[in-house]
Structures are given as structure tokens and as C-alpha cells.
A and B are shown apart, each in its own frame.
Chain A
Amino acid sequence: MLSQYAFILMLSGIALLIPVAAIFIGHWLGPRRPDLIKNETYESGVETIGDTWVQFRAQYYLIGLIFLIFDVEVIFLYPIAIAYRNLSIFSVLATVTFVVILILGLFLEWRKGALEWE
């Protein structure tokens, strides 16, 4: 089994090397004439006003949290799906309960308005 991951290791080495090499060659071939105006932040030809890093709404964070919770639940479903054919009725009931609780959670979010994007 480990030899399978040797291939993944090789591939990850190459997958890192290719973009690094491309960027390096591009950097080396291209001209280098930086000046003040060129390096300025692009904003449709006007000077940027104020800080770039403005504060963002908390809704993005909420979406991230909901995603994390669903992600964890999906992780549990995959190995169960592998074993599903040989599961007893009791286990199937447990799995169904799990998914139903998941759906309940989604409807809770919905009712509380967490999914509304204003």
C-alpha cells in the first residue's frame, strides 16, 4: 500500500516543481523595470482610497462554520457507504438517523435565517 503513496509523493514533487519552474523562468525571461506607478494597486485608473483590508461581514464566517460541520458529517458517511452492503438493519437505522439529524440541522439553519444572504 505504501508504494501507492510513493507515486503520490513523486506526483506531488513534480506538481510543485512545474509551477515553481514556470514562474522562475518567466521571472528570468521577462523584463524588470519596476516603477512607482506600475507597482501601484490597480483600481480602474484612480488612486486607491483608504485601506484595502476592509472589514468583512460575519456572514462569510457563518457559511464557513456550516460548511465545516457538514464536511465532518460527510467524512463519516463515506466509510459507512463502503461497508453499507453488509450492514444489519440496526446499523442501517443508525445511519438513517444520522442523516435525518443532518437534514434537521439544515432546516434549523433555514428557519433561523442563517441561509439568507442580505
Chain B
Amino acid sequence: MNWSDVLIDFQMRLGAPEELRWLVVAITYFIGAFLLVNASLVLALLLIWITRKIVSRIQDRIGPNRQGPFGLFQTVADALKLLSKEDITPANADVIAYALAPILAVFPVLMSLAVITFAPGFVGTDLNVGVLYLVALGSVGIMAALMAGWSSNNKYALLSGFRVVAQLLSYEIPMVLAMLAPVLLVGTMRTQELALAQSLYIGPVNLGLGWFVFILPGAFLIYFISALAEAEQTPFDLLEAESELVAGFHIEYSGMRFAMFFLAQFLNAFFLGAIAVMLFLGSWQGPFADQIPLLGPIYFLAKTFLVYLLIQWVRGTFPRVRIDQMMSFAWKVLVPLVLVLILSQMILMKLPMPVWGGWIPYVLVLLANLGAVAIVLSVLGRFYSRNEITTKRAFDPKSLIGTTVPVSQAGD
């Protein structure tokens, strides 16, 4: 039973006439959707605050600390400020595409709320094509970035728009194929079914620890890296590289229109984390989640916030990659690896096994995944331990001002 069925049944038993059932359904759905969307708007304020706090701590700053306890209301103040800003449309901009782009950027992000499993019985609606629905929405946002970049009549914006598309298109493929791994394991695309499949029974008690990350760590790692790129977070934030492109495809936007892009970006990072939790980290499952229903949403939100924190940690510590490195990492490392991973999982799941050995395919799949993890980590390790990365120099500078090399080693 999903929340909407319970509520509709309740209203029908209160004495709503049967011929007005469609109205009851519509009102229930409307209220549910309205609450979800508005809760996520408040969530965005919180997320921006979290990001600013974490990144400033990593950079040895304090971050917002004046408005309210721990500076919690700083983002509220920022939102109010953006609300009172002038709404500028630059000269020669393509007015229609310029106005539509921020709306189209927020739309797919909010739509992904529909299949997020907050708790048993609390998913907007349990679509039969749930996972594919999320994938499809992810590809709609690409067009919004391209529209914004093209319509602004700004060279930076257009450059950034092209980069966004190249990046999002390249990382969409490994992400979608990594999301295929749990679907292949269970044989369903419904998010609530996927959550139920990640339980672990010892006798009659559900430990709730049968997370797919324990069987598919390789797919999880590839999903996580691709999600970083899809969320436009720092190792892959070429599209808004402040030192090169000033701000990215939304450079000409001001006021609330700019806020829409900002909102879309932060909520997207959070929801990509939520998808990781739904597919790999056990959704709302956890110890005693069956006995105490309240633990379900707590587990889900706690895990999602942890993944979000991880994303922000990566954002605060890793240097940005170059566009050719980004493209070759997607097409030459992630895509072949995830294809081989899916292929091996397909073969291993169908190997003839003795009756008692139902668990053997899972162990073999786990081994294949661990191999994938080792390959990704060794590629990343070799990349990040290269000299030009550790000294933060892509070329030999004329002077060493601004680098971290000690004076004694300085050659000039």
C-alpha cells in the first residue's frame, strides 16, 4: 500500500461519493506533489548552507556564521536578496529560449521526486519503469543548459553550453549502464521493489543490510563518478570553471532566473545521491527498519545526506580536470569497464550451478566488481599522483610565486 492509496481509501470511507473518486484522487495527488516540491525547495536552502560550510572548512575558512545559529539563515537571506534583484535580459538575446531555459532546468530535477522511496509506502508513485524514468529525466536537463548557453548571446555562455553537453552526454552512458547492474540483479525497475530486494533475512528478522553495494561495488563506484560529472561538481565543473569561463552557461542570468539554475544544480546533486542510495545503498533498509517504521525515512535521509557530504568533500579537495582528460576518462575507462562488467554479470548469473550453490554467482559477480574497482582506482591514482597534478602546475612557470613548492627546491 502506498501513501496515496491509504489516503484515498480513508477519504472514501469518510463518505465521499463513488462518482467523485477521481476528484479525491486528484486532490490527494495534488497535495502530495505540492508538499514534496515545497519540501525540496526548503531542502535546497539547507543543501547550499551545508556546501558552503563544508567547503569553507576544507579551505580553512569559517563560512557563513552571522544569520541565525551557525549561519543557517544565510541562504534564506540570499534567496530574499535574489528575489529583489533586477531581472535583466541582455541585448540581442534570444528572448524565448532565454526565458524557457531556467524553467526547463528545474523541471526534470523536481520531476525525479516522483519515484524516490523515502520509506516503505512512501514513494510518490511506484512506476513500472522507475529507473528508466530517472534516466530519461536526466537527459532533459542537457537541453536546458544548451538553451541557456545559446540564447544568452555571450561567448562564455556558449562555450560553457557546449562543454556541458559534451560532459553530460559522455557521462550519461556509464551512469545508465551502472544503473543497469542492480536492475539486472533483481529483474525490476520499480524503486520500491529494489528497496525490498535489499533486505537481508537471518531467520525471520530483517537486518536490512543486503545492500547492492556489497555485491556490486564496481557499478557503485562507476555510478558515483558519473554522478559527480552529471551533478557538475568540482572535479568535473569545467562548464562553470570560474577562472576560464567566469560562471558558465548561466553567466547572463540574474535574480530569480539565476536562482533557478542554482536550485537545479544543488537539488540535482542531492537527488543523484538519493538514486545512489535507492539503487546501491539499501534505500530505507537498515537494522530494525521493519520493526520501527520511523527508522525508514531516517535511514534514507541519513544515507542520502552522507552521500551528499561525500560529493561535497570531493568537491572541496580535488583539482579540476581538463576537457580532454574528462572525455577520455569517460570513453576510454568508464564505458568499456562498465560494459565488460555488465557482460560478465550477465554470463555469471546464468552459469550452471549445483543446487546448493545459489550464492556462487553472487560471489563471482562481487569478484568481477572488485576487479573493476581496482582498475578505476589505479587509473585515478596514476592520474592524481602525476607530477603536474601534485605541484598544481600544467607547465613550467616563469616564477614560483603562488605555488606550494618550498623555496629550497625552487630552481630560479
* Closest chain A CB from B75 CB (angstroms): 15
B29-37, B283-291, B374-382 - the one binding chain A = B29-37
A4: chain B residues at CB < 8 Å are 125-127
Docked pose: A13 CA to B180 CA in angstroms:
29
A112: chain B residues at CB < 8 Å are none
Check A26–B350 contact: CB distance below 8 A: no
Give the dominant DSSP class at A's interface.
Answer: helix
Check B154–A42 contact: CB distance below 8 A: yes
> Given contacts A52-B158, A92-B350, are A26 and B83 in contact (CB under 8 A)?
yes
* Closest chain A CB from B280 CB (angstroms): 16
Docked pose: A90 CA to B322 CA in angstroms:
45
A96: chain B residues at CB < 8 Å are 343, 346-347
In chain A, positions 53-82 with a C-beta closer than 8 Å to chain B are 53-54, 56, 60, 63-64, 66-67, 70-71, 74, 77-78, 81-82
> Given contacts A11-B37, A60-B165, are A26 and B257 in contact (CB under 8 A)?
yes
Check A7–B4 contact: CB distance below 8 A: yes
Q: How large is the interface on A (under 10, 10 to 19, 20 to 34, 35 or more residues)?
A: 35 or more
Option from A1, A11, A32 in Cβ contact (under 8 Å) with B36: A11
Q: How large is the interface on B (under 10, 10 to 19, 20 to 34, 35 or more residues)?
A: 35 or more
Query: Does B16 count as interface, using CB distance less than 8 angstroms?
Result: no
> Given contacts A39-B89, A42-B252, A82-B189, are A10 and B29 in contact (CB under 8 A)?
yes
List 21 A-B pairs, Cβ < 8 Å: A7-B4, A11-B33, A11-B110, A11-B113, A12-B107, A16-B103, A19-B260, A22-B260, A23-B99, A26-B256, A29-B84, A32-B86, A52-B154, A63-B169, A74-B177, A81-B187, A82-B188, A84-B187, A100-B343, A106-B336, A110-B331
Chain B: residues with CB nearer than 8 A to chain A? 4, 25-26, 29-30, 32-34, 36-37, 41, 82-92, 99, 102-103, 106-107, 110-111, 113-114, 124-128, 131-132, 139, 150, 152-156, 158, 162, 165-166, 169-170, 172-173, 176-177, 180, 183-184, 187-189, 246, 251-252, 255-257, 259-260, 323-324, 327-328, 331-332, 335-336, 339-340, 342-343, 346-347, 349-350
